Amino acid sequence: MEAFLNPVSVAIIGITRKSGPGSYNLMENMLNYGYQHKIFPVNYQAKEILGQKAYSNVKDVKQKIDLAIIILPRELVPKCILECAESGVKAVIVVGQGFADVGVRGKELQREIVKIAKDKGIRILGPNTLGVINNFNNFTTSFMPLNKEKAPIGLICQSGIFFVGARNFIGNVGKGIDIGNACDIGFYESLKYYGEDPDIKIIAAHMEGLEQGRQFLSLASHIAREKPIVIFKTGQSEKGAKDAASHSGTMAGHYQVYRAALKHAGVHFLDEDGQMVDAVKSLLHLPPMKGDRVAVITPTGAGGIMVSDAMERYGLKMASLSETTIRQIADLSPEWMPLANPLDIWPAAMKHKLKDVYPIALKAVLDDHNVDGVLCISIAPEIPEFAYLDVSEIINRIVSERPDKPVVVWLYGPNQKEINKKLEREERVGAFQTIERAAWSLSLLRERQHFLERAKTH
C-alpha cells in the first residue's frame, strides 16, 4: 500500500495535454496539491506537459516508477499494464470506467488485467477510481480539487463521490483510498493499512458490496479495539441488493447475518448519507458512554420533550438526577418550579443569568453518579449584541475539566453554525444541527462502549 499512498515517483499514462478549467488534468491537480516528488507524464502525442518532459511510452522513462496512473480508454489498459510490468512498476491505478462496472466486455477486460497483474506481480487499485488521497504527504491522484487537512480520518470508498464530497459525507479526510471496482486492492488491505497507520485514528468506509469472510471480520474486530470503524453500506434496497449480488457473487443471502457479525465485531453501521459526518466526529472526539443514562440541560421545556422522544427511539434512558443535582438548580429557581430531567433552567436563568446558571447545571450533571452522558440545549444568539447568551466557552471549559462523560450540544437560534464551530474547536464536545442527531450520536458512543467491554473480556 505504501507505493499507492507514499510514492516518490509517479508516471501518469494517458495524461491530457490540456490544462486549466474543464481539462480534468490529474497532473495539474497533483502539482497544485503540493506533491514534491518525481512525475513522469506519458502521452505519445506530447513532448512536454505542464513544463515537464513527456514520454511517448512508459517504457521510455527508464527510471524507477513507484506508481503508474493509467487514464487510457479501457481497450488500451491491458497492453499498458504489460508495458508497466516491463518497466518494473509494481503498483498501478486504473482510473477509467467501463470494466466490471458495465457489461460483458467490461468484465472480460477486468479479468484480463487481473490476470496480467497476478502473472507479473503488479498490484492494481481500481478500475473506476479516483485513486488515493494522502494529505500527510500532499499527494493525490484525484483530478478534482480536495480538502488538504491532515485529519486523522482514513477513508475507504467505492466511488469518487466521497473524495469530491468528503465534507458532505465525512468531514476533513486525511487519507483516502477509492477501491472502485476493487479488482485487486480491496477493503481488507485498505483496512489493514489504516489499522497500522499512526496518522489514522478512525476509519470510515463506504461499501456497495459488503466485504465478506472470516478474515475481514477478524481484522475489523482487532482494529476496532484501537480505532473506531464506521461503514456506510449502500445498495440495501431490493434493486441495490440485486446490483450488489451481481457484483460480488454469492453474498446477498447471508447479508443480514454477516452485518450482525460485523456489528458484533465493533463496526458501526450507517444507513443514511447524512449520518457519517456526525458518526465520525463523535467517535473521534468524544469518550464512549459507560451507561445508558442521559441528562439533559435545557432552557426550554419543549426542547426537553423532543430529547425524550429521541432518547426512546435510540434506546437510551433519561437519567434520574440525584438530589444534590436537583437542589443546586432548585436553589436558583422560583419556588414554584418543579425540577427533574430534562433539567429546565430557564426560570433560574431569568432570575439570575444564563451564564451563571449553565455552569452550575453542567458541573452538577457531570458529577452526578446517575448520569453517563449529557445533552446540552442552549441558544445560538446574534453576536455581539446577545453574546451574553452564548454559553459555548462555559461548556468547553467545564467539559475539559470533566472529560470522562460524552457531552453533545444542540443550539437553536440564528448563529447555530458559527457557535457550533466554537464549541467543536477544542474537540471535546460534539455540536449538532438537530436534536435527533445529537441523541443518535450518544447512542453510537454507547454502542462503542458495549463493544469495548465485550472486547476486554475476550
Tell which positions 27-66 bind a second copy, by CB under 8 A.
none
Q: Which of 123, 175, 201, 206 binds a second copy (CB under 8 A)?
A: 206
CA distances for 427 relative to 287, 363, 422, 431, angstroms: 11, 19, 10, 10
Evaluate the CA torsion angle 225, 228, 234, 236 in order and state its sign: positive
CA distances for 245 relative to 256, 272, 361, 401, angstroms: 14, 20, 53, 51
How many residues lie near a second copy (CB under 8 A)?
Answer: 76
How far apart CA 269 and CA 187 sit, in angstroms, is 15
Instruction: Please provide the DSSP assignment of 281-308 as one string.
Output: HHHHHSPPPSSSEEEEEES-HHHHHHHH
User: Could you tell me the three cell numbers for 95?
Assistant: 482510473
Strands (E), 199-262: 202-207, 229-233
Residues 217-246 that bind a second copy (CB under 8 A): 234-240, 243
Judged by CB, which is closer to a second copy: 114, or 337?
Answer: 337
CB of 158 to a second copy, least distance (A): 6
CB of 11 to a second copy, least distance (A): 21
How far apart CA 122 and CA 79 sit, in angstroms, is 14
Q: Does the protein bind a second copy through residue 215 (CB under 8 A)? A: no
Judged by CB, which is closer to a second copy: 169, or 194?
Answer: 169
Judged by CB, which is closer to a second copy: 62, or 105?
Answer: 105
Sole window of 18-26, 38-46, 53-61, 81-89 interacting with a second copy (rule: CB under 8 A): 18-26
Residues 89-128 that bind a second copy (CB under 8 A): 97-98, 101-103, 105-106
Residues 129-188 that bind a second copy (CB under 8 A): 144-145, 147, 157-162, 164-165, 167-169
Cα 386-390-391 angle, rounded to 5 deg? 155
CB of 421 to a second copy, least distance (A): 14
Judged by CB, which is closer to a second copy: 265, or 442?
Answer: 442
CA distances for 391 relative to 99, 184, 411, 441, angstroms: 55, 51, 10, 21
Residues 264-303 that bind a second copy (CB under 8 A): 271-274, 300-303
Residues 298-357 that bind a second copy (CB under 8 A): 300-303, 305-306, 308-313, 318, 334, 336-338, 346-347, 350, 353
> Which of 361, 376, 363 has the alpha carbon at shortest distance from 407?
376
Evaluate the CA torsion angle 52, 138, 148, 267 in order and state its sign: positive
CB of 320 to a second copy, least distance (A): 12
* DSSP β-ladder status, 132-134 and 139-140: antiparallel
Judged by CB, which is closer to a second copy: 223, or 361?
Answer: 361
CB of 136 to a second copy, least distance (A): 20
The backbone torsions φ and ψ at residue 124, rounded to the nearest 5 degrees and listed phi first, read -115, 135
CB of 219 to a second copy, least distance (A): 24
How far apart CA 271 and CA 236 sit, in angstroms, is 9
Sole window of 76-84, 212-220, 362-370, 429-437 interacting with a second copy (rule: CB under 8 A): 429-437
Tally the C-alpha atoms within 13 A of residue 80's C-alpha that lie toward its C-beta: 28
Judged by CB, which is closer to a second copy: 128, or 221?
Answer: 128
CB of 277 to a second copy, least distance (A): 10
CB of 38 to a second copy, least distance (A): 26
